[in-house]
Structure 1
């Protein structure tokens, strides 16, 4: 997590330092007009850069300063970072922006514990103790495909109505109040890595577990556009939504291959490289190629890489080849825990 904190007074800087010390497991950058802190040209510049680069932005000062600073740079609730405000005395921690998907509500509670403050959270579902589907999604490593559907789920629950649930994954634990595992309701949640042929609800909140791992291989100097276009076409053919992809993986011989690196960068996911020995140790029934073994030291690159990245999950696509490119897709084992 990349957390940026800006403070404006001596007391505020003290709060900033307390937070940074407690959050040492994260990348914390402290900004202030004082020695020992990172400089900033203006609050507006700080806000513009932080809204684009940070996961969480903390203003230690007046809420009005934060509101005016971030206003020009607020884009969307599924991309904006968490924004919080703490008064200089450390009495209140306010969740200002992106409370659910950005995690500001959860961070508000955590920072309030650190500085012994009162958390201030104004989202309706949290205020009334109602299940927040978007918060649940983020906490469990999922994406929300269409954030516009959140209002229908939350609105129904706030009115005391029932919402449905359809999951392609096993469900563990007791479902939240108001959520039922059927498709007879007007709105509900779909938990799946695939685009449904027909949405199960009139208003379907599609929650996408990030559990799909894509293994790739290609000949030297493969056109990055060709690899990306083909692999994205493969995903579409399988109806796998892009948000489900958790990583791209290959053999370490491809560590500098532009097409492979560009694919992970385009999808904004981690890139994993494995040695031939690591790939050989992956258990499973894989298509074998003597030619690939002579070149790489292992009989299969893409499928073994996808299997390893997914911790030997389920195979969604065995090794598939085209024009010197190969791809395989696996899904890591996962369950919807409530």
Structure 2
């Protein structure tokens, strides 16, 4: 499930990206300062040594006085976005040995030091380089250079659609390649929004249908996208499709699972009961965005293992934070004695989502779960 965690990190990084801006010339340095003052105030600018101008706040010298070395160091420094204000050739040669995978690689943007062209070079969709390139170009009056086939046609890619709703789909690379090729070729793709989630305006390139319309006209479409929280929802509509038709289910990650368990609960027991709970909720495990609990469980191996397996963050809250909700839920005297608060699963899920609890407490084999949903 590491690919899920990688993509989830990409989604989160867009909100507060770690940005490195690397320049070689005086004009490039000025352009970097402009980007810092308008779009990336937390970005670090790496510049060539200048006796005429001292380093400003959030400026650093090029590593080993080399733009090439600086780019390579930033590729290994968990940057989310590298803006290279120099020749594309230098940038390509510098990043080439460090390119791994579209779910891991940082967004790379190349610019000339006059700000005329803003080139989305790497990780255009998942890494957000295409959108950042547009934003930069609009801000400085330049031209965004984007070569992704779907974007050139002003159509939304499957991976961009998933990102826009904080969703994920299985067989990520295969399905992305299949659907984005169809989208670039202007093939007709049906979309069923069973989750009722708000979609971006540029998703209109898909043909939104309901179940009856799909049943009656499925032969008119080359592909089907189903947006649903339900496990295997896509299979209900693809029993009689042509082998040439492609289909995919996007699961929006909107849910929080509160967890409580006895100390040193086995991974097997927690996992087994988690699967039962999710089945009862009729919810695909990919719909979970976060697991939460009380802080005394922050080192509980079974919970840590579960969060890692399904590719989500695990966050805990203090007893004092959860005590405020104790009157709202049926609790346990045993749990109260052990951790200081009677309800852990429901209270922590309630706290994380500002009260949007979706389930009663599940309890079995010393394990408790509760479901809540982000608005």
Shared fold, TM over 0.5: yes
> Paired residue for 2:167, among 122, 136, 142?
142
Equivalent in the alignment of 1:40: 63
Equivalent in the alignment of 1:57: 82
Equivalent in the alignment of 2:227: 191
Distance 1:102 1:317 in 2: 38
Structure 1 counterpart SS, 2:60: coil
- Alpha-carbon spacing, 1:61–1:4, altered in 2? closer, same or farther (3 Å): same
Distance 1:4 1:186 in 2: 42
> Paired residue for 1:20, among 36, 47, 61?
36
Pair 1:88-2:124 in alignment: no
Structure 1 counterpart SS, 2:151: helix
Equivalent in the alignment of 2:8: none
Deviation, structure 1 residue 88: 1.5
After TM superposition, the score normalised by the length of structure 2 is 0.74
After TM superposition, the score normalised by the length of structure 1 is 0.81
- Alpha-carbon spacing, 1:298–1:107, altered in 2? closer, same or farther (3 Å): same
Pair 1:6-2:34 in alignment: no
Structure 2 counterpart SS, 1:83: strand
Pair 1:315-2:358 in alignment: yes
Distance 2:177 2:186 in 1: 14
- Alpha-carbon spacing, 1:91–1:284, altered in 2? closer, same or farther (3 Å): farther
Equivalent in the alignment of 1:30: 45
- Alpha-carbon spacing, 1:111–1:144, altered in 2? closer, same or farther (3 Å): farther
Distance 2:190 2:48 in 1: 52
Contact 1:235 1:241 in 2 (8 A): no
Deviations 1:98-145 (A, max 9, x none): 111111111101122332211111112211222323223213322343
Deviation, structure 1 residue 95: 0.7
How large is the RMSD of aligned CA atoms in angstroms? 3.2
Alignment of 1:171-250 (within 5 A): 171-172=197-198, 176-182=204-210, 183=214, 184=218, 185-196=221-232, 199=235, 200-201=237-238, 202-220=245-263, 222=264, 226-227=266-267, 230-237=269-276, 238=278, 243-250=286-293
Query: How many corresponding residue pairs?
Result: 327
Contact 1:61 1:86 in 2 (8 A): yes
Query: Which has a greater percent of strand?
Result: 1
Distance 2:128 2:75 in 1: 16
Deviation, structure 1 residue 244: 3.3
Distance 1:217 1:313 in 2: 18
Deviation, structure 1 residue 283: 8.7
Which sections of structure 2, spanning at least 5 residues, go unmatched? 1-16, 50-54, 239-244
Deviations 1:138-190 (A, max 9, x none): 13322343232123333333333321223331144676034232442441222
Equivalent in the alignment of 2:52: none
Equivalent in the alignment of 2:315: 272
Range with bigger deviation, 115-124 or 144-153: 144-153
